[in-house]
Amino acid sequence: MKCTVCRAWMTSGKCHLCEQPMKASEIAALVNGKLYGVDKSALGFTAANRARAINLTFCSDPSGLKNTQSEIVLSTIGSHNAAQTGQTVIEVENPKAAFAQALRTKAPATVPKIFADAVINSKYVSIGRNVVIKPLAVIGYEGFGFEPTGSGYEIFPHIGGVIIEDDVFIGSCTCVNRGKLEDTVIGQGTKIDNLVHVAHNVRLGKNCIVVAHTIIGGSVTIGNGVYIAMSAIIRDHVKIGDNAFIGMGAVVTKDVEPGVTVIGNPARPYQKTVKP
- As beta bridge partners, residue 47 has none
d(CA 204, CA 213): 16
Selection from 236, 234, 237, 240 nearest residue 261 by Cα: 240
Q: Catalytic amino acids?
A: 200
Selection from 64, 90, 88, 65 nearest residue 77 by Cα: 90
d(CA 65, CA 193): 31
d(CA 252, CA 232): 8
Strands 56-58 and 88-92: unpaired
Selection from 217, 227, 224 nearest residue 262 by Cα: 227
